Structure 1
C-alpha cells in the first residue's frame, strides 16, 4: 500500500506540458539558426540543459535552460569589443528572438536571454563550443567576461543513473524537488541532482530499490543530507565535476527537520501519511482505507474546513528566497519579533496585535513583477469548535495584520507569485497560549 502511494506520487510529479515546451524550444532554435547559421533547422545547435536536460524536472517547472551554439567567428567579433562585448552579444541574441516573439517579454539577465511565456520562462544561453566539448558563454556583469560550462557530462551521467536504477534516480531527484517546493526553500536543481547522485554512490544497495523501500530510502537520504557541512562552499557536480555552489546551506537544516519527522515511522504508523504530506504536500496520495479512517477521526472539523493549498491554485517552483517575520504589539507598542519569541521559547499571549511582514524578497531585488498571497491557518479543538479554522489563500500586500484570540498551534504562510507560478514561499508558526487564536 505504501509502495503504491510512492509510485502514484512519482506519477503526479511528471511534467505535463512537455509538448508546449518542445514547441517553444524548436521555434527559438529555428529563429536563431536562421539568424546566425542561415538554416531553418529546429534542432541543430540548440540543447536543453538544466533539470529538463537531465530529465529530473517536475510538473510546474518554471524555467527551461537551453544553450545555443554560435559560429566561432562571433566570439572573435565580440571579444574584440572595447567595452563589454558580452553584453553586446546578449543584446544581439535578444533582438533576433524578438523577431519571432515581438509581443513577448524578452530581456537580458546577465548571462542569458529570458523569454517569458505563460507559466514558464525560457533562458537562452548563447555559447561557443570548445574542443573538449565544453562551452564558453558570456557574463555581462561587472564589465563583462567569458565563463565556461560543461553540462553534457552531467546530462550523460544523469541518463546513465536513470537507466541503471530503473528510473529511481530520477524519481528521488524529483521527490527532493517536491520537498523543497513544499517546505519553501531555495535549492538549485544541479545541487539536488549532484547530492542525490552522491547518496546513491554512498548507498549502492538503493540502486536496485523499489517503491516499497522508499520510506527506508528517505530516512537514509535525509540522514545523509543533514550530515553535510552547511558551510561547505561547493560540491563537484555529477559527471562534469564542475563546482556547484552552496549559498546558505539551508537544505541541511531542513533535512534535519525532515529526518526527525520520519525517523521513527514504519508502514504501520498511524500518522505516516500525515507526516508524508507534511514533507511533500497534499498531493502525496493517501490510500482510500487510510483516508476514511482519518475522516472519521476528524469529522468534527470537516464541515467548516475551507483550507486551500497553493499547489491547487498555482504551479509551484521555488526559485527565489523569501523570509517573513511578525511584529508583536500590545496597545500599539512593539514588544518583540515573533521569531525572537520562538527562539526564546516564550509563549504568545492573548490580546496581541500581530503584524506579519516580509523581511527578504529576492524576486523584488531582481526587479521582477510579482503578486503576494497570504494564508492564515488556525488549528486545535478551539478553532474547530468555533468554526474558525480558516486557511483560505488571499491576495494581499507586504504586510498582514491579525490579532490573537484563542489558543492553538497556528501558522501564517506567504507566497510570491511571478508569471502565474509560486516561485517563493515562507511560513511562521504562531503558537498561541492562554485561550487565544488568530481571527
Structure 2
C-alpha cells in the first residue's frame, strides 16, 4: 500500500496517550474519551501505522467462511430440515418451515465453523398434543424431535440441551430449535426443558434487524468487529457467549469515535472495545425485540483486561511501524488468523 503524509491527517495527528487499564484502571466517568485523548506528534510528515490497514483487512478475510464451508453448512441444515418436514409436515422440502439463527442468521460466522443454528417450525397440532402431558412437556417434545431425527441419522450422536437438539456431524453440529410461530409477527415460542419445563418467547428477526441496522449506520464496521471478537473468544477461551459479544459490540460501535472509519482504524477500534467490555462486568444488556434482561457477570473480565493491555502495546508498536512486534501482540489476542507481518 502506498504511504503518504495523509496518514497524519487520517489519525487526526494524534496517538492515544493511555498506557494501561490496570494502573490506574480507566474510570467509567472518563470512558472512551480517555482512550482518545491525544498527545501531539512531534515529528512532522512521517508516515505512521504503515501495517494497520493491510493487517486488519487480511485478518478479516482470513475469518470468512470458505465457499465449501458455506455449502457444508447449508447441506447439513437441508438434510435435517428435510427429515423433520417429512415427519411433521408431510413434505420433502429441504428449507420450508425453517431458517438460520445465530451467527449464520446474522452473517457473523467465522471459520472454522462452529455450530449451525436453525429454527424448525412445528405445526400447532404438535403443541396441542404435548399440552396433554402432565410433566415437562418441553422435554418430551425435544425427545420427540430427537427421535424423528434418529430415523434419518441412526449413527449420528445427538443430545437434548435445554432448548435445542444438537446433531453432532463430523465437521460441526447442527443445533435445532423446535419452535411454534405466534400470532404476533416475528415472535415464536421455543422449549425450555429446565426447571420442570416452560415456553420462552423469542424474536430472532428483531436480533437480526438490530445487527443489520447498527452495521449499516456505522460504515459496515460492526460485523467485521464481531467476527474479530469471536476469534479472540476462541483463541483465549473467553467465557462469554457470542450472542452477548454481538450485543455489546453493537452498543460500543454506536458511540465509538472511529465508527465511520475504515480498516486503518481497526487497531484502535478493537483496543477500545476491550476497554469498553472491561467496564461492562456485572452489568446487563437487553435482548432486541423481547427486551429480556441478561446479566453479564464478570468471569471474562480478567481476559478482557489482559487483551486490552496487549492491544495497547500493539497499538504503540503500530504507531512506531514496528510491524512484527505489533503482530506478536495481536496474535496473543486473536491467534494466527491475524497476520504477524502485514
Using the size of structure 2 for normalisation, the TM-score is 0.78
Cross-structure match for 2:287:
237
Where do residues 298-309 of structure 1 align in structure 2 (5 Å cutoff)? none
Displacement of 1:129 in angstroms is 0.9
Cross-structure match for 1:263:
312
Contact kept? 1:84, 1:143, Cα under 8 Å: yes
SS at match of 2:336: coil
SS at match of 2:258: helix
Contact kept? 2:159, 2:166, Cα under 8 Å: yes
Q: Distance in 2 between matches of 1:240 and 1:210?
A: 33
Displacement of 1:275 in angstroms is 1.0
Deviations 1:269-321, CA, capped at 9 Å, x for gaps:
53222111111112311337xxxxxxxxxxxxxxxxxxxxxxxxxxxxxxxxx
- Do the aligned partners of residues 243 and 275 (structure 1) sit closer, same or farther apart at CA in structure 2, a change above 3 Å counting? same
Displacement of 1:36 in angstroms is 1.0
Contact kept? 1:197, 1:238, Cα under 8 Å: no
SS at match of 2:319: coil
Cross-structure match for 1:252:
301
Contact kept? 1:191, 1:237, Cα under 8 Å: no
Q: Distance in 1 between matches of 2:289 and 2:203?
A: 9
Cross-structure match for 1:212:
264
Deviations 1:108-143, CA, capped at 9 Å, x for gaps:
222211110013111111111112221111222232
Displacement of 1:199 in angstroms is 0.4
Q: Distance in 1 between matches of 2:278 and 2:197?
A: 38
Where do residues 414-429 of structure 1 align in structure 2 (5 Å cutoff)? none
Contact kept? 1:127, 1:138, Cα under 8 Å: yes
Contact kept? 2:218, 2:254, Cα under 8 Å: no
SS at match of 2:254: helix
Q: Does 1:4 align with 2:57?
A: no
Cross-structure match for 1:104:
156
Higher relative CO (CA 8 A, sep ≥ 6), structure 1 or 2? 2
Select which of 237, 241, 247 maps to 1:194. 247
- Do the aligned partners of residues 172 and 41 (structure 1) sit closer, same or farther apart at CA in structure 2, a change above 3 Å counting? same
SS at match of 1:19: helix
Contact kept? 1:127, 1:137, Cα under 8 Å: yes
SS at match of 1:206: coil
Q: Distance in 1 between matches of 2:165 and 2:88?
A: 16
Displacement of 1:39 in angstroms is 1.6
Cross-structure match for 2:188:
135
Select which of 309, 326, 331 maps to 1:277. 331
Q: Distance in 2 between matches of 1:245 and 1:80?
A: 34
Equivalent pairs counted in the alignment come to: 284
SS at match of 2:307: helix
Cross-structure match for 2:198:
145
Q: Distance in 2 between matches of 1:240 and 1:282?
A: 38
Q: Does 1:113 align with 2:165?
A: yes
Contact kept? 1:129, 1:135, Cα under 8 Å: yes
Contact kept? 1:65, 1:123, Cα under 8 Å: yes
Could you tell me which runs of 5 or more consecutive residues in structure 1 were left unpaired when the two chains were aligned: 289-439
Larger-Rg structure: 1
Q: Does 1:74 align with 2:123?
A: no
Cross-structure match for 2:21:
none
Cα RMSD after superposing both structures: 1.9
- Do the aligned partners of residues 156 and 27 (structure 1) sit closer, same or farther apart at CA in structure 2, a change above 3 Å counting? same
Deviations 1:23-42, CA, capped at 9 Å, x for gaps:
11111112111111112222
SS at match of 1:122: strand
Structure with higher helix content:
2
Displacement of 1:239 in angstroms is 5.5
SS at match of 1:137: strand
Displacement of 1:48 in angstroms is 0.8
Select which of 170, 175, 179 maps to 2:223. 170
Displacement of 1:10 in angstroms is 0.4
- Do the aligned partners of residues 65 and 55 (structure 1) sit closer, same or farther apart at CA in structure 2, a change above 3 Å counting? same
Q: Distance in 1 between matches of 2:294 and 2:113?
A: 20
